[in-house]
Amino acid sequence: MDLDATHDPELTSWVESANTPGCDFPIQNLPFGIFKTRNEKPRGGVAIGDQILDLAALGIRTGPTLNGLATMGRPVWKKLRKALSRGLSHQAPNRRLSKYLVPMKRAQMLLPVAVGDYSDFFTGIHHATNLGKLLRPDNPLLPNYKWLPIGYHGRASSIVVSGTPVARPRGQIKGPDQEQPSFGPSRRLDYEAELGFVVGPGNPLGKPIGIGEALNHVFGVVLLNDWSARDIQVWEYQPLGPFLGKSFATTLSPWVVTLEALAPFRCPAFPRAGGDPRPLPYLYDETDQREGGLAIGLEMHLRTAAMKAPARLSRGNFRDSYWTAAQMVAHHSSNGCNLQPGDLLGSGTISGAAPDSLGSMMELTQGGRNPLSLPGGESRAWLEDGDEVIQKGCCERAGAARIGFGEARGVIRQ
């Protein structure tokens, strides 16, 4: 994924809103999504500034999901990106495209892909260590963590697009001083700041994907908020792992930012400490170690029913993940598991070493013991009804155009 003319930071678009400083969707981004307007069917589009370019402008008719486009593979994605960049740029403008522009404010965004399967990893080593200290003070990081990308199979049916309300889940809860569990609404509702990697072509059953080819099977990246009911989770997760404490909702941003757009923001894999094991051969690739990381910044914001403006709670970065996207794909398929177009791989909660980079309320409040102070005098140990969580993401570095991911937001309903 070398840099080319589509990444030129000086490139501008005749869609003037795309040239606004701080815009999430400049011409260097060009993410894909599914949208609909009143009385029209869902279809594929590309974000450019505050507009959506209908992919029908290039003769591409996706239908209600991007799964077909995800199947086509990297050569097709790159060719399409170059065509979009040329047609939308000032350098070689294709004004015919203007009749295919739809203002974002007039469009309804939908899930970008039909997610057949969803797996959630645990790549954030700071998050894993922090939760381990809360749950297992004597043994916070289990010995398998540094040998393989730990994950579990999630629930695809409850994945929702940004803006969908989240119903407070109910389940079995047992406090440490209770003789038996009770059933009722979760009182320790949390969010988790993650990224979602959307699978592209995938692999046949029984044929693993080698790590050197793994990124060719990643269509792009979305924001992902893996809502978590901590009180339900802590009672049910032994010995088989997460279940109803996670499966009630997972919120995605609607725009798939392609790996081509992210090429300027690749970085070295997370540096392993002295004494950490070298990954086994199927998880080790020199190129992946050198540039398999992604410097994607994530922010989590909270707005209560009484607040006029959201307050930022944390700011982290995916470069703090112990395992790379390629390692996730290689490990997931290493047993012959067949990944399919549109499948979703969650990164796991992304936290950093700094106190303001923690990607969950579980960490920020030390398991609810130290509530957060919010503007206006409110406080939160856990999420309450009416609270809105807003996840944002962007990539920034010197010598490259800033690109964004939009938002993944959801309001807690009773």
Hey, which residues are catalytic here? 127
Spacing of C-alpha 142 from chain mean position: 25
The letter for the amino acid at 101 is L
* Residues sharing a CB contact under 8 Å with residue 154, sequence separation 6 or more, in sequence order: 118, 119, 120, 226, 242, 246, 247, 250, 346
Pairing label, strands 344-346, 118-121? parallel
DSSP 3-state of 400: coil
Do residues 230 and 246 lie in contact, with contact meaning Cβ atoms separated by under 8 Å? no
Quickly count helices (H) and strands (E) in the chain. 7, 26
Q: What values do phi and psi take at 117, rounded to 5?
A: -140, 145
How are the residues of the chain apportioned to helix, strand and coil, as percentages rounded to the nearest 5?
Answer: 25, 30, 50
> Cα Rg for the chain, rounded, in angstroms?
21
DSSP string, 317-357: EGGGBSS-HHHHHHHHHTTS----TT-EEE------SSGGG
Please tell me the distance from the alpha carbon of residue 385 to that of residue 164, in angstroms, as a whole number.
14
Please tell me the distance from the alpha carbon of residue 219 to that of residue 33, in angstroms, as a whole number.
12
Place of tokens 């994945």: 159
* Residues sharing a CB contact under 8 Å with residue 377, sequence separation 6 or more, in sequence order: none
Do residues 81 and 260 lie in contact, with contact meaning Cβ atoms separated by under 8 Å? yes
Q: What is the CB neighbour count within 10 angstroms for residue 192?
A: 27
The letter for the amino acid at 143 is P
Q: What are the residues facing 89 on neighbouring strands? A: 13
Please tell me the distance from the alpha carbon of residue 296 to that of residue 278, in angstroms, as a whole number.
25
